[in-house]
A and B are shown apart, each in its own frame.
Chain A
Amino acid sequence: MPDKSAFSVIPLVAVLLPWFSLVVITASPKKARGLRLWLCALGALATFGVVLSLLPGILDGNTYTIKLASVVEGLEMRLTVDTLGYYFSLILAFLWLLATVYSISYIDHKENRFFVFMALCESFLIGCAFSANMFTYFIFYELMTFGSYPLIIHEETAMARRAGYKYLVYAISAGTVLFFAIVAHYFWGDGQLGFGSYGVLSLEFAGRAALMTVFFTYLAGFGVKAAIMPLHGWVPDAHPAAPSPASALLSGVILKAGAFGIIRVCFNVFGVELMRDLKVHVVMAVLACITIVVASVFALTQDNLKRRLAYSSIGQVSYIILGLSMLSHDGALGGVMHLTHHALMKGCLFLCAGVILVKTGKKNISDMKGIGYKLPITMICFSVCALAMMGTPPSVGFITKWLLGSGSLEAGLPVYVIVLLVSALLNAAYFLPIIYTAFFRWEGDEAEEGEEHHRPKLAFGKEADHEMVVPIVILAALVVIVGIWVTVPGFPYSFVSKVVGIIFP
């Protein structure tokens, strides 16, 4: 742990602040819908502000800690803000703010329930990010699992219910496995549930088999949320069923909570040396490669836009896993940075899909001819993010691709480059047709040439409410800006290079 560790209530404030929305919703009059929801957005803004207030200290290398409770001797609930946790909390609070604003215009029924659970989820996720040990992480993680269920079934259609049920089945099974993992970790790891800069477990505590069991149970437990391939079943159902802002958060943040857990396990629990000793990274790499390629192939066959995006998310989250499994400086850098990169890109894509759904009622890509003329700003942002997903420079997607490629050479395994290129090719194959359909086709374009009157005109400025368009534009702009000025303090590189720089000097 870094030296400059200080007691601070700010982590707790950040965790509790989203509950402000709960108070607002219950206290404010029923009729004032706008006021109520904007106050919720204010709550999200305040949370983001509080998180942001820690930025200078974190960049200086400080950590902030507060003890919540002590269960037994040595097993305590504690919030600690270190660089890695802060990195996750920053993107999640930011994306949450945008999604909350977006929801004001998007959600048209039972908005109280939706906003309350949004706020609760944010609270639990910030708890996850600030957890000082696996025990605390597990508690917040499980709370978040249940908190996100009402978001998924919000539409209350038969499809949404089934998706929600499936989500619960997967998540609860995963929770059980995770619980076992933590117990095993506690038992074999000499009670060391905390996070160390170089990992806390070692072969001194337990045998290889025991440690491998702990690792794989962790991987399976977090792998359900991170959608590693055999455990991904809930994702393609939950994303299309959930309202778009919730899908954006599912894909942008909640999937990442699983990936973040795996990052913690790799960096702070096991440590790179132990992983290399146990050779567990090989399994991670194989699973990640399979997931990346197979998910992209599945995405290729989907006509439902959100389902295609969901499969894309499955593949993209595995970039993080692949980066970790390279056990090289650039690989880890690229993988962990992709956590934010993907949140920005996929968050934007899902929000765009939401605008399309609300404004035109279209869910299938084959129906989206000429949609770029009706919704130009939305679809331009969509195109920017789609190109970024393919790894086109200058964008965050390119930075990830570049670092992962460089990392795989550093690790001496150019075979990963092939996986990355195949994945980029498949990304192009399933994203470019969407752009093409939106901008270069229109209803009736098969008619004979000369029938120019069908040709649509660009309709700027009348596409959707500002609450929906502004978050999309911000995200798309960030996709490019973060991809150009990578090293600006507060952007992913400034945190991740510190963390990774310690582990791989």
Chain B
Amino acid sequence: MHEEKAAILAFSALPAVSVALPVLGAACAAAAGEARSRLRNWAAVISSGATLVAVAALLARVLSQGPVYFNLDIMRIGDRFVGNLEVDAMGAFFAFFASLLWFAASMHAFRYMDHEHKRTRFYLFMLLTEAATLGVFMVQDFFTLYLFFEAMGLLAYLLVIHSETERSRAAATKYICMTVVGGLSLVGGIFLYLGYAGTVAFRPLAESAWLAGPFKVVALVGLIAGFGVKAGMVPLHIWLPDAHPAAPSPASALLSGVMIKAGAYGIIRTLLSFFQQPAAHAGEAAEAHGAAHVAGGLASDVQALGMVVILVAVATMFIGMLLALVQSDIKRTLAYSSVSQMGYILFGAGCLAYLGAEGPMGMGGSLYHVLNHAFFKGCFFLAAGSILFRAHELDMFKLGGLWRRMPVTAFCWCVAALGIMGIPPFGGFVSKTLLHHAILESHHLAEAGHLGTAGLVKFAEIMFIITSGGTICYITKMTYYTFFRRPRGEHAHHVEHVREAPSWMLAGTALLAAGVLVNGLFPGLLLRRLVGPVVGTVPGFDAHVAAHLSEVPVYIWANIKEILVPLAIGLGLFLLGAWPDLLGARRRGPDLFRFRLPRWMGVDYWYVRGARGSLALLFTGKRLYAPVKEGVVREARKGAAGVVRAVRDVIYPSLTTKPMQWVKAQSLRWYREARTGVLPRVREYQGDLAVGALVIAVSLTLFLIMRLL
């Protein structure tokens, strides 16, 4: 199999170089240390810049000449499992924006970290996380993916906990719990995938019956939940709104801009594993399994899966939006916004599975939105970092009028804001248009096929529009309160001394804002040169539909009018919540922007209760078992006493002859000695003995049950 792969793929050192450069940078940064802090900061910027160049070269190479591999050859177990780097177009695409974001964040961190402690540790782990994250995108099998995915998750823990305040400790603990559970769910899913697909590669073996196994739902739930934890998928998102604000701002930009995309990437890969069988082989497999209806059944299974993903995505985007609406902390709003935006990305992925062979539009929208979200959310977080750096405050209601004091930051922020709102001609408009097309296509498909899910698809479309409206509202709110509202008297001291951020920080922010602009201004170029080709590499897609994606017109009235409804909803909501401040009036009645839900409505409340409950159950088991153990001991002692009594009352009286009398005296003496000498020892071990007896009894019972079954 290995030779075959070598024949198809071209060797390239670029994947290894891209992963090694950040590690090298990390080593340099650690060696430079606090004593040579400028050298250390430069090392981070240069290494992430060099990584960006390497990844860009890799992307160009992959798009022009097809996938490349590098024989890493680690964790080799026999011939079946081996960790190797292999990059296809989609992986290179993800790696490209990841390294771009890392470059921007390391520029921003150059000055931002001045007011943090343990800076060397931060740089060390930021760069190591980059290596791990790039690794995630540069593999073609779940085995190696798991290596990098776990490494990324664990290394990012250091970024979340960095400030070591109570708040970040709590956030980091939540984060690590979710990471560990997600990792285990993932590895469980991978095992089952291995069992059914016959391989750990993303492309299942042609003759395998991936999805025919009895545990297919378990396997899928394991994989999607494992990736979904990282992707911030509702209801597994609970770590995200705590962890992103707790981390230093450049790290938040990375967590929000890149790391959660790794989760989305995993989900897209999982969904694509159904498309990876070459058409000819798929036909053979269908024949091998009896009839064409197997292939039909598979298609409808995938469609059902797509529907589930769409619904989860809708829940994610809607709940994230609602919670973002009521936050006052800028970074917390952005974090909830990330949850909501991940919903958009998963939405595209769901459409991809729902549409099946006609899914390029869903995948294209998803990928375009990944790119967009990376840029604008990274830009937002970096700008928020600049605000925190200068104003030492992140409560939007205590800030105000910053656009005068930080004009460049405000400009970048506004570009990102227009981008995320989906206003033409900024990036978000393009991806939201694509996603909207995808859901419309799904609806056509459902109507044409008289599918039962047509109503649900319509519902998803409506939710999509409402969520877009809510997004417009909370972004407008945040922008208005932070930058444009005149600061209130009691809070004016927060902003008085504020100056424009240092140029290093501006450079990082502006780079990402430029990305948002490019995404919006050149959609045709990006679709033709980047997103289209990436989607085109997926086997199993209808070639015509894939080609259509490259030529889909974006800036036409039919698309632009679609934004008007959300815009009206969003601005209406905004006016409803902000009119007292806009008019300078006193606030009366319920406040839309400060609404708080009770704790029990949060998912994490129930997770904590569940975890406590299961722990309590374990210890109840222990408590229940203590009386049983004592009971066993008591009964055993009773039995022993009974034997002694029987000997004393029944046997001894019958011993009348002289030799027997001697035996009796002797045995009494031994008994007395045993009582004083041995019995205390026995008492000491009675617990162990009882446990032994119990476990043997339980095991025998289980054994018998298994034999009988």
Contact = CB atoms under 8 A, between A and B. Distances in A.
Interface of A: 166, 169, 229-231, 233, 279, 282-283, 286-287, 290, 297, 387, 390-394, 398-399, 401-403, 405-406, 408-409, 414, 417-418, 421, 424-425, 428, 432, 436, 440, 445, 449, 452, 455, 483-487, 493, 497
B411 interface: no
A484 B184 contact: no
A382 to B, nearest CB: 15
Given A283-B699, A414-B195, A394 B75 contact: yes
A399 B74 CA distance: 11
Contacts of B699: 230, 283, 286-287, 290
Given A279-B707, A425-B180, A387 B188 contact: no
B194 interface: yes
B75 A393 contact: yes
A74 to B, nearest CB: 34
A393 B146 contact: yes
Contact of A405 (B187, B681, B702, B707): B187
Given A414-B191, A418-B188, A421-B184, 15 more contacts: A231-B692, A233-B688, A286-B702, A390-B180, A393-B151, A394-B83, A394-B147, A414-B215, A424-B184, A425-B181, A449-B165, A485-B76, A486-B75, A487-B77, A493-B78
Interface in B693-709: 693-696, 698-699, 702-703, 706-707
Contacts of A455: 117, 164
A484 B75 contact: yes
11 contacts: A230-B691, A230-B694, A233-B688, A286-B699, A286-B703, A290-B695, A390-B180, A393-B150, A399-B75, A417-B192, A486-B76
A230 B695 CA distance: 6
Nearest to B696: A230
A452 B163 CA distance: 11
A311 B511 CA distance: 53
Contacts of A425: 180-181, 184
Given A417-B188, A425-B180, A440 B146 contact: no
Contact of B77 (A279, A399, A408, A452): A399
A394 B409 CA distance: 42
Contacts of B187: 391, 401, 405, 421, 424
A440 B163 CA distance: 10
Contacts of B579: none
Contacts of B81: 402, 406
Contacts of A391: 187
B605 interface: no
B510 interface: no
Contact of A392 (B154, B215, B707): B154
A71 to B, nearest CB: 33
Contact of B180 (A279, A428, A436, A493): A428
B77 A432 contact: no
A398 B688 contact: no
The dominant DSSP class at the A interface is: helix
A402 B184 CA distance: 12
Interface in B125-145: 143
Interface residues of B, number: 50
B169 interface: yes
B31 interface: no
Contacts of B75: 393-394, 398-399, 483-484, 486
Interface in B73-96: 74-78, 81, 83
B607 interface: no
B161 interface: yes
Nearest to B213: A414
Nearest to B611: A429
A350 B78 CA distance: 31
Nearest to A483: B75
Contact of A387 (B78, B117, B154, B195): B154
A60 to B, nearest CB: 20
A224 B706 CA distance: 25
Pick from A166, A230, A493 the residue with the most CB of B within 10 Å.
Answer: A230
Contacts of B696: 230
The dominant DSSP class at the B interface is: helix
A99 B81 CA distance: 34
B677 to A, nearest CB: 14
Contact of B117 (A229, A390, A452, A487): A452
Contacts of B576: none
A403 B80 CA distance: 11
B685 interface: yes
Contacts of B702: 286
Contact of A497 (B78, B165, B181, B192): B78
The 3 closest A-B pairs by CB, nearest first: A230-B695, A230-B692, A233-B688
Contacts of B703: 282-283, 286
B685 A169 contact: yes
Pick from B184, B192, B693, B706 the residue with the most CB of A within 10 Å.
Answer: B184
B74 A485 contact: yes
Interface in B271-297: none
Contact of A409 (B117, B161, B165, B191): B191
A286 B180 CA distance: 26
Contacts of A414: 191-192, 195, 215
A370 B419 CA distance: 45
Contacts of A483: 75
A493 B77 contact: yes
B188 A432 contact: no
A279 B83 CA distance: 37
A483 B74 CA distance: 8
A402 B161 CA distance: 30
Nearest to A421: B184
Interface string B162-193: 00111001001100100011011001100110
Contacts of A279: 707
Nearest to B146: A393
A281 to B, nearest CB: 11
A434 to B, nearest CB: 13
Contacts of A169: 681, 685
A405 B193 CA distance: 12
B308 interface: no
A452 to B, nearest CB: 7
Contacts of B151: 392-393
A401 B186 CA distance: 13
Contacts of B191: 405-406, 408-409, 414, 417
Contacts of A428: 180
A398 B172 CA distance: 24
Given A282-B706, A421-B187, A455-B117, A229 B695 contact: yes
Nearest to B148: A393
B618 interface: yes
B4 to A, nearest CB: 21
A151 to B, nearest CB: 22
A440 B146 CA distance: 26
Nearest to A337: B77
Interface string B209-237: 00000010000000000000000000000
Nearest to A445: B164
B398 to A, nearest CB: 19
A393 B286 CA distance: 37
A286 B704 CA distance: 11
Contacts of A486: 75-77
Contacts of B707: 279, 282
A109 B685 CA distance: 31
A64 B154 CA distance: 46
Contacts of B693: 230
A229 B693 CA distance: 11
A1 to B, nearest CB: 25
A346 B151 CA distance: 22
Contacts of A282: 703, 706-707
A432 B147 contact: no
A97 to B, nearest CB: 27
A327 to B, nearest CB: 15
A425 B179 CA distance: 11
